[in-house]
Amino acid sequence: MGVWWRQHDLHHDQQHQQHLGSLCAPILARKFDKKTCNTIAYTGFALGLICAAFVAPGSVWGVTLCIGFGRFCSGLNASLSPAMYADIGDYYENKTGYRMHSYLLSFFSLNFSVAQLFTGSIISICLGIVGFDKGAAITPEMLTMFRNMVSLIPGIPLALGAVASLFYPLSEKKMEQVHAELTAKQSAE
């Protein structure tokens, strides 16, 4: 019971950190732009997870702090992504005349479903690599793989996402222009 309660507490704490990140996102988005905030979010999430593998692998609290920082940054991203999808929809509408906001936002939720699909497969593959078998003794290789499954394996793609976010072309200035053009087109109709 004590172990379950502590695991529940850690999960609950990480949810609070993600919510706190979500609350901070609008403040940061006003100071910077959405693209910069999103890049900060991806970078922070990736660094938090990757640091959990290298900085404090033997410390439960160190790992918890690293992953907690990553979860805070994921909250920033969770708040900004729908607004960025809306910008993409506005840009597309301005270019083509077709609205696709609902399609884009459904694609946003599809990402989570696809990620869950692959997560189960990746976990199974990783556990198979180290010879994990229910009821067998835990080896040092298994412990390393467990740590990597919550740190490096998700952290590396997030780092790539941070690099990709640098190439997001819709700046605040560009979106002001798009919104002005959309308003002019709608007024002309």
Distances (CA, A) of 164 to 38, 81, 158, 159: 11, 14, 10, 9
- Three-state DSSP at 85 gives helix
Measured CA to CA, the distance from residue 145 to residue 126 in angstroms comes to 7
SS3 of the chain: helix, strand, coil, percent, to 5: 85, 0, 15
Query: Tens place of pLDDT for every residue, the chain, 189 residues?
Result: 444 334 444 445 556 677 777 878 888 878 888 888 889 999 999 999 999 888 756 687 888 888 888 888 888 888 888 888 899 999 999 999 999 988 888 877 787 788 888 888 888 898 889 888 888 888 888 888 888 888 899 999 999 999 998 999 988 899 999 999 999 988 887
- Three-state DSSP at 82 gives helix
pLDDT at 8: 42
pLDDT at 6: 41
